[in-house]
Amino acid sequence: MNIKNGKNGFTLIESIIVIVLLGFAMLAFSTFLAPQSALSGQVNYSNRASALGQSIMTDLLARDYGSVSSGTPIVLGSSYVNFNVNLTVDDNNPTASMQKMTLIITASNNPPITLVAFKGEY
């Protein structure tokens, strides 16, 4: 009777080599994902700032002509704590009875988002 003395499984050296190779693979994978996660925050900021700007502009355009000026207070909701809003109203346009409203929205170190609307007296 010929019995094989077969050993099944991995040796310690093979296991260490596999762990080192997987470590290098994860390092390469994580360096690829880190910049992508930073960019996803930028997209989230742009979406929220655009939604905030559209909401404010809709409110401003629904008001009577002449009732909006550069000092008009703008109330932000509790979900927009870190956002800053600057409203500028310009009445000096070539077309009579026209207001140019410029809304600039910023948050921390993200680039500002600017929305411009014209409102006429009609």
Residue 1 lies in a domain: no
Residue 66 lies in a domain: yes
Q: How far apart are the two ends of the chain, measured CA to CA in Å?
A: 107
Residue 77 lies in a domain: yes
Which domain does 48 fall in, by range?
12-120
Q: What is the pLDDT of residues 31-78, one digit of tens each?
A: 888 777 767 778 888 888 888 889 888 888 888 887 887 777 777 777
Q: What is the pLDDT of residues 11-28, one digit of tens each?
A: 899 999 999 999 999 998
Residue 56 lies in a domain: yes
Residue 40 lies in a domain: yes
The number of folded domains in the chain is 1
Q: Is 90 helix (H, G, I), strand (E, B) or coil?
A: strand
**Which pLDDT score is estimated for 2?**
59
Element spanning 87, H or E: strand 83-90
DSSP 112: P
Q: What is the pLDDT of residues 91-114, one digit of tens each?
A: 777 677 788 889 999 887 888 999
Residue 5 lies in a domain: no
Residue 7 lies in a domain: no
Residue 48 lies in a domain: yes
DSSP 71: T
Paired sense of beta strands 113-120 and 98-107, if any: antiparallel
